[in-house]
């Protein structure tokens, strides 16, 4: 098997970004379409309350799965830099530690999640008519979350090796599987919320089988053995510091769901929570090309930084921001022009149809500039600088968005909640742009 990771340090940056970003974007697109179509199926075949119920469960399952993503991204930063520096043994040891840590943490979290099921669901907004369908969905989906965590961890390692097409397939398999199983379990077998949950859980299992095959085959450069699974303290400390950036981001996302569901329930009831469910799905779906460029940028920046090719690192930053910013502008235009048509795909509820398009325009108002914030925070994570990566990652939702959703509704009512989205985007972009520019001038010299 040829060492394809070496191409990260030799091919042109523009070509590499396209090769890395297109498969990543396709994978995110299919995964986002899965979430989107799943929401359409649930909304039309079960009801709008079911959309709210799934939206309540997502923060818990996403947070546990995010443990795998955090370990994957944190370890992959080490792997990319180790491969760039020619230290393959360090890359192998890191991968083995990723697997061990993912299993230990996610299984523990699932046990706790099941024990405290009746407390967690209401805390995340599962009140009134939302509670029972949310409980059904939560219990079943939680069984498959460790497999999802392993998939997300493995997916990032595959990308760190410079093999984005295999990473793309790993994202497509559970998405397609979930949609097919949704159609069978909900539409034909009339299993309701349980059908939606089992479709999701089984799809996680399909993804895990594919990722397992990849690493056991000769497709991967990381052919690990039993000693690599033993926990190594220095690697764990660096991986945890870098992974904590991703985990903190996902934790803040979960907290944001919790706060939004509760604040909107108090202001507008179930209808407002359902509106947020639709808009949250669109945020996951519509930004897929921007997120794809960000994911494609990570291994390029990490590998070349490890190889001390700083001119290439600087070029990768500039081109990633340019590509992602252009795509963000296209997304912005589509949302501004077609919000009514988008919302009508999810529901026929007249109350939701009348208000949600207006709110959606506010949520996406600052989309053209978010590339700077995403690429900037990703850069510090790619090069192993955990503290600035953590702080910049938390600027948008942690430092700005959460305070704003408490302050602005006092002046603007429910509209204040939705205005908080673009306000947080603008403020976090300004802060990230300042620190990224300072880092480039200080570290990435000719």
Contacts (Cβ under 8 Å, ≥6 apart) of 394: 248, 249, 252
State the Cα–Cα distance between residues 21 and 296, nearest whole angstrom.
4
Split at pLDDT 50, 70, 90, the class of 4 is low
pLDDT per position as a tens digit, 98-157:
999 988 988 898 888 889 888 888 887 777 888 888 888 888 988 888 888 888 888 888
pTM to 2 decimal places: 0.69
Average the pLDDT over 229-248 and give the result.
Answer: 83
Question: Would you state the pLDDT for residue 1?
Answer: 38
User: In which element (H, E) is residue 39 found?
Assistant: helix 13-45
Average the pLDDT over 429-441 and give the result.
Answer: 92
State the Cα–Cα distance between residues 389 and 375, nearest whole angstrom.
11
Alpha helix stretches (DSSP H) within 46-87: 48-84
State the Cα–Cα distance between residues 183 and 174, nearest whole angstrom.
14
User: Which one, of 121, 74, 30, 370, lies nearest residue 240 by Cα?
Assistant: 74
Split at pLDDT 50, 70, 90, the class of 446 is low
Task: Please state, rounded to an integer, the average pLDDT across all residues of the chain.
Answer: 85
Question: Would you state the pLDDT for residue 243?
Answer: 79
State the Cα–Cα distance between residues 312 and 301, nearest whole angstrom.
8
pLDDT per position as a tens digit, 36-64:
677 778 777 787 788 778 777 777 777 77
As a whole-number percent, the residues of the chain with pLDDT over 90 amount to: 23
Side-chain-side CA neighbours of 368 within 13 Å: the count stands at 9
Integer angstrom CA distances of residue 242 from 78, 184, 434? 9, 41, 21
Split at pLDDT 50, 70, 90, the class of 14 is confident
Question: Would you state the pLDDT for residue 2?
Answer: 43
Split at pLDDT 50, 70, 90, the class of 406 is very high
State the Cα–Cα distance between residues 284 and 62, nearest whole angstrom.
13
Question: Would you state the pLDDT for residue 432?
Answer: 94
**Ordered DSSP codes for 278-302:** HHHHHHHHHTHHHHHHHHHHHHHHH
Question: Would you state the pLDDT for residue 9?
Answer: 76
Q: Quick one: how far is CA 48 from the chain centroid?
A: 24
Average the pLDDT over 427-437 and give the result.
Answer: 94
Split at pLDDT 50, 70, 90, the class of 336 is very high
Does the pLDDT of residue 265 top 90, yes or no? no
Question: Sign (positive/negative) of CA torsion 231, 233, 234, 237?
Answer: positive
| Cβ contact 140:201 at 8 Å | yes
User: Which one, of 285, 279, 286, 240, lies nearest residue 256 by Cα?
Assistant: 279
pLDDT per position as a tens digit, 354-392:
888 889 999 999 999 999 999 999 898 888 887 888 888
More confident residue, 317 or 282: 317
| Cβ contact 94:75 at 8 Å | yes
């Amino acid at each position: 098997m040829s060492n394809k990771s070496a191409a990260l340090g030799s091919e042109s940056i523009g070509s590499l970004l396209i090769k890395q970003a297109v498969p990543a974007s396709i994978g995110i697109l299919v995964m986002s379409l899965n979430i989107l179509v799943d929401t359409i199926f649930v909304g039309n075949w079960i009801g709008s309350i079911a959309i709210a119920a799934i939206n309540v469960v997502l923060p818990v399952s996403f947070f546990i799965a995010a443990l795998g993503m955090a370990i994957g991204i944190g370890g992959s930063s080490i792997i990319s830099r180790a491969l760039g520096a020619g230290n393959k043994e360090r890359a192998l040891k890191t991968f083995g530690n990723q697997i061990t840590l993912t299993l230990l943490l996610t299984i523990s979290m699932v046990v706790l999640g099941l024990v405290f099921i009746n407390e967690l669901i209401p805390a995340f907004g599962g009140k009134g008519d939302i509670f029972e369908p949310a409980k059904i969905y939560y219990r079943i989906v939680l069984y498959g979350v460790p497999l999802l965590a392993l998939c997300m961890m493995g997916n990032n390692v595959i990308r760190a090796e410079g093999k984005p097409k295999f990473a793309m397939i790993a994202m497509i398999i559970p998405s397609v599987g979930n949609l097919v199983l949704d159609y069978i379990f909900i539409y034909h077998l009339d299993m309701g919320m349980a059908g939606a949950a089992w479709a999701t859980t089984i799809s996680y299992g399909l993804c895990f089988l594919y990722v397992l095959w990849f690493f056991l085959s000769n497709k991967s450069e990381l052919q690990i053995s039993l000693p690599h699974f033993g926990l190594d303290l220095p690697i764990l400390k660096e991986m945890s510091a870098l992974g904590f950036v991703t985990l903190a981001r996902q934790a803040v996302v979960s907290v944001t769901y919790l706060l939004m569901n509760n604040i909107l329930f108090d202001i507008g009831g179930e209808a407002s929570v359902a509106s947020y469910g639709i808009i949250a799905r669109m945020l996951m779906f519509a930004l897929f090309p921007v997120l794809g460029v960000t994911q494609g940028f990570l291994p390029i920046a990490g590998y070349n930084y490890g190889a001390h090719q700083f001119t290439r690192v600087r070029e990768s930053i500039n081109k990633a921001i340019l590509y992602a910013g252009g795509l963000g502008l296209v997304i912005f235009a589509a949302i501004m022009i077609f919000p009514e048509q988008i919302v009508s795909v999810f529901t026929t509820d007249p109350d939701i149809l009348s208000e949600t398009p207006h709110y959606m325009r506010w949520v996406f108002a600052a989309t053209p500039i978010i590339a700077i914030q995403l690429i900037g925070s990703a850069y510090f994570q790619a090069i192993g600088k955990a503290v600035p990566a953590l702080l910049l990652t938390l600027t948008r939702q942690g430092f700005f968005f959460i305070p704003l959703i408490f302050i602005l509704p006092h002046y603007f009512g429910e509209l204040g909640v939705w205005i908080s989205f673009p306000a947080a985007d603008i403020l976090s972009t300004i802060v990230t742009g300042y620190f990224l520019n300072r880092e480039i001038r200080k570290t990435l010299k000719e």
